Amino acid sequence: MCIRDRFIGSSVALITPMFDDGVVDYDALNQLIDFHIDAGTTAIVSVGTTGESATVGVKEHLKIIDHTIKYSSQRIPIIAGTGANSTSEAIDLTKEAKRLGADACLLVTPYYNKPTQEGLFQHFKSIAESVAIDQLLYNVPGRTAVNMTVETTARLAEIDNIIGIKDATGDLSVIKQLVKKCPEDFLLLTGDDATAVDFLISGGHGGISVTANIVPKELQKVYLAAISGQSEKAIELNSKILKLHKNLFIESNPIPVKWALHKMGKCGKGIRLPLLELSNEFKSIIERDLKELNLT
């Protein structure tokens, strides 16, 4: 199996379940891991944006990754979120993820400090050269205030252990350019649920999804249909969860998805400041979506 094939299809940007006081609930995490293995999810991303990487400390970040790897026991690939806005910190996190046994690492573009395109290239190049583990780039300008261009991505794609990108721009012109300019075996993953089907139809290989937290089995069917060229089937299947794609971002991610999983009985309501529990005005919207999908 080639590198790319391991990550084709629907992977989940897994939440980090917490008790009401914000303490990580490892029993609930175990249940979520089993839930995704049973559903046929392609891979789990541990402590990415949806996993609240911004509010866990470094030791806790690595503890969650370590627990996820050990509990999954090679039953599903684990992609560790190890990005940082400091290159040295990202290298340290990536080294530790490799030591813990992660299958790959997901590295977000440095946030807040707004590097140039050459700065982005040198950042990711340094990490790749420092740690011999498969690495996925992650471009999400709506979160980071920096957009990595297709040209920079294509340069990075020439580095052996940079195996792909999670593109969460939601801009479908980007996937078309990536297909043209990146090597054929460079993994193109969507990080935008609302446009995922069009992304996959346009040449994408899979995605890392928030919606997959809620309907992993159903989303995998959507993705595999789109990837295999069954466009009409993918669109039809996706139509049943379109509202969920939209409403899981009715407030900042992961606020709505954590509330949805709580209502499904899969975790508590815990979330860490500065994020709060879903606002009362939106709870009925999420609960309606779940009811329509027979999830509550």
Strand 104-108 relative to strand 44-46: parallel, antiparallel, unpaired?
A: unpaired
Locate 3 and state its tokens: 């590198």
- Radius of gyration from C-alpha coordinates of the chain: 18
Of 80, 62, 79, 48, residue with least CA distance to 257: 48
CA distance 33 to 63: 15
* Residue 26 annotated to the active site: no
* Contacts (Cβ under 8 Å, ≥6 apart) of 74: none
Which member of 71, 95, 138, 181 is catalytic? 138
Burial track 99-118 (b if 16+ CB lie within 10 A, e otherwise): ebebbbbbbbbbbeeebeee
Of 77, 76, 54, 79, residue with least CA distance to 65: 79
Locate 31 and state its tokens: 């249940």
Which member of 98, 166, 263, 266 is catalytic? 166
* Residue 166 annotated to the active site: yes
* Contacts (Cβ under 8 Å, ≥6 apart) of 277: 255, 259, 269, 271
Of 198, 192, 122, 128, residue with least CA distance to 161: 128
Cis? peptide before 274, omega within 30° of 0: yes
Of 161, 228, 216, residue with least CA distance to 45: 216
Residues carrying an active site annotation: 138, 166
